[in-house]
Chains A and B, each alone.
Chain A
């Protein structure tokens, strides 16, 4: 029977009630709608740009920026290009994001576990923390921290510890390793990475041996020793070859008539305020996620672990937490994304994050193009977090049945 006659004599479900056909139709229609909407938005934007003679294009990227950037962790001169200035902004945002994510996760886990503590005071304190920081808008919290930092002593009356740590309302300074010569430092960092990889390989080998033979392989000790020895040998060779060690410790020191700190590492007030605000805010959400994750692990697991004689700490570390991770990771990643994107509020407290720098750029370059680049940058950062999260998620999922 050919297909045409089969169609004519079709006696199955009528087309308008055929689930598959309906599903396809819905897909096609929604696809068309989405594409149409995107096309309409885009053409509307292009039309408006033309109508109003709004400058666009990307040729400005290779021009000199000639504008100050308050805070930069990679060297920056006003003669650098717009493109490089954007890179400075991306590093600034990335630094806040990474530091914020680590601190917020640590604090969030601590608060989340405290929330489940059998100690009434601890549990209630954690609850108060969560409810307060979760329910007050982040911008308001940032201004709160901003005014708290302003209340710190002025630069001349800084809190000083051992002539090495300075805290004032302009920021916090501490000693920091600095490269004596960039090329040598980079070589050593490369060798240090090799040392870490070697240490990790030793750890795996010893751990496997321990598993197979039951004899103690001391994986931690062996791996650390390997890494240290390789790193130290590299350091010594480079020091002798180059005449000076790859890094030296730079000490912060007040200088000039204003007493501003030179040397060491200085986290300026803007960074302190932004980081504190982001960490406290995000930790409250992470705490709830951790609590939900821990509570999702069946009670029997904990009871069994306790019955085997594991201490509460070991139970949490070896039994409850590994299982809770599966529930925790996906929402945790979305908190990382939130933190990264929320760092765009930096401008309010004088931190030169990507958005802050970009807004300054719109004075001398086309705003539309700049905001496209900004969106792309945040998208790239968010996708990186998602990628890391997904990889980790795959790593910890249930294996087999």
Chain B
């Protein structure tokens, strides 16, 4: 007790002496040094405090340092890479190549975006998520873009994030064993159907079953891999998904020839990238990048031959940033963003062919919905489809 008191008194005395020092002229030089040191420490303190306060503000405002004043474009540029949520379990859309890289249609859209905002198609980070995780992932804003065969629906648009552009028109279909003799989905009465958890196909299946009085029983699996395994082993009579994914996944079955995809398409499944709510500039950038890919094909600009000097077509010149503009400055993109993007990943048709077309999972395109609509200067590009984007000008 006494000792503590003594210590306290001693400490107080020391403090008093230190404070009093500033008045003693004898110690002036030393004092000046101390003062300077003090100032420096103060400044350092202030800086640290500001940093802590900034951090606290960030934590209080949300969960991650984005949104709220700072634009996502700046955040992405500071980070140096674009984060996309995607998948690796469906060849063509999001798969893995022999070297272990993420490849696919969806992945290429992410690479196009990375090229547009960072100038580097490899500046991407792919977050692998399952179907049910898509909503929460994009809602939280932890990724810059969600490209994982996401069907555009009104309630997702309202609740999840903003859909930028339909990049693929799909529809839900059914796969059955060829020896079941079924040729039409309406014959699926009393069938057990396997489906992936958290997908629109799960919802559409109920509508289809109710409307036609089929009394379908579902088996809902979290992972597409499990759905495929269960169907392959005969745990379900049919397997439902988007038609194009069925085609891709059929190749993964033990004997693909034993299975047929029924001709029925029971729903509309427009697929495209989604961005988090709350940043219009970022939303517009993604829309513009998707439009660049589409118009790249419409104007016949291929990856291997992107003009960098004036051509005889003003539309091409404007797209490539050679003359005129289509809003690059307002979006914070470089004048020649289209040149960079098309050189890095190619145009829409090339991306399609590489992943979904002849060099990919071989989905027909010509004459289908995923052909271009465009009345384009190229004479031999497919037409009459629904792939279309707002004019770039």
Interfacial residues, chain A to chain B (CB-CB below 8 A): 14, 40, 43-44, 47-48, 51-55, 66-70, 78, 146-147, 149-151, 154-155, 169-170, 255-258, 260, 262, 268-270, 347-350, 352, 356, 359-360, 362-364, 366-367
Residue pair A258, B220 in contact (C-beta under 8 Å): no
Residue pair A362, B220 in contact (C-beta under 8 Å): no
Known: A52-B276, A348-B223. A44 touches B235 (CB 8 A): no
Whole-angstrom distance between the alpha carbons of A359 and B133 in the complex?
Answer: 9
Q: Which of A40, A53, A347 interacts with B278 by CB under 8 Å?
A: A53
Whole-angstrom distance between the alpha carbons of A88 and B64 in the complex?
Answer: 36
Closest CB in chain A relative to B148 CB, distance in Å:
14
Residue pair A51, B136 in contact (C-beta under 8 Å): no
Q: Which of A14, A47, A55 interacts with B60 by CB under 8 Å?
A: A47
- Is there a chain A Cβ closer than 8 Å to B364's Cβ? no
- Is there a chain A Cβ closer than 8 Å to B34's Cβ? no
Closest CB in chain A relative to B206 CB, distance in Å:
5
Residue pair B220, A356 in contact (C-beta under 8 Å): yes
Residue pair A68, B209 in contact (C-beta under 8 Å): yes
Which residues of chain B have C-beta atoms less than 8 A from A270's C-beta? 219
Interfacial residues, chain B to chain A (CB-CB below 8 A): 1, 4, 59-63, 67-68, 132, 135-136, 139-141, 155-156, 158-159, 180, 187, 189-192, 194-195, 197-200, 202-203, 205-207, 209-210, 216-223, 226, 229-230, 233-235, 237, 276-278
Which residues of chain B have C-beta atoms less than 8 A from A348's C-beta? 221-223, 226
Closest CB in chain A relative to B183 CB, distance in Å:
12
Which residues of chain B have C-beta atoms less than 8 A from A367's C-beta? 135-136, 139
A-B contact pairs, 15 of them (CB 8 A): A40-B60, A48-B62, A48-B63, A52-B140, A52-B277, A54-B139, A55-B159, A146-B229, A256-B189, A256-B190, A257-B187, A258-B237, A260-B237, A356-B197, A363-B156
Residue pair B190, A260 in contact (C-beta under 8 Å): yes
Which residues of chain A have C-beta atoms less than 8 A from B4's C-beta? 14
Residue pair B61, A51 in contact (C-beta under 8 Å): yes
Known: A67-B202, A150-B230, A362-B198. A47 touches B220 (CB 8 A): no
Which residues of chain A have C-beta atoms less than 8 A from B223's C-beta? 348
Which residues of chain A have C-beta atoms less than 8 A from B278's C-beta? 51-53
Whole-angstrom distance between the alpha carbons of A364 and B198 in the complex?
Answer: 10
Residue pair A349, B277 in contact (C-beta under 8 Å): no
Residue pair B192, A66 in contact (C-beta under 8 Å): no
Residue pair B190, A364 in contact (C-beta under 8 Å): no
Whole-angstrom distance between the alpha carbons of A170 and B237 in the complex?
Answer: 10
Whole-angstrom distance between the alpha carbons of A359 and B136 in the complex?
Answer: 10
Q: Which of B187, B189, B195, B222 interacts with A347 by CB under 8 Å?
A: B222
Which residues of chain B have C-beta atoms less than 8 A from A149's C-beta? 235
Residue pair B190, A363 in contact (C-beta under 8 Å): no
Whole-angstrom distance between the alpha carbons of A262 and B190 in the complex?
Answer: 9
Q: Which of A55, A350, A364 interacts with B221 by CB under 8 Å?
A: A350
Which residues of chain A have C-beta atoms less than 8 A from B199's C-beta? 363
Residue pair B62, A51 in contact (C-beta under 8 Å): yes
Q: Which residue of B lies closest to A66 (CB)?
A: B206
A14, A40, A43, A53 — most chain B CB neighbours (10 Å): A53
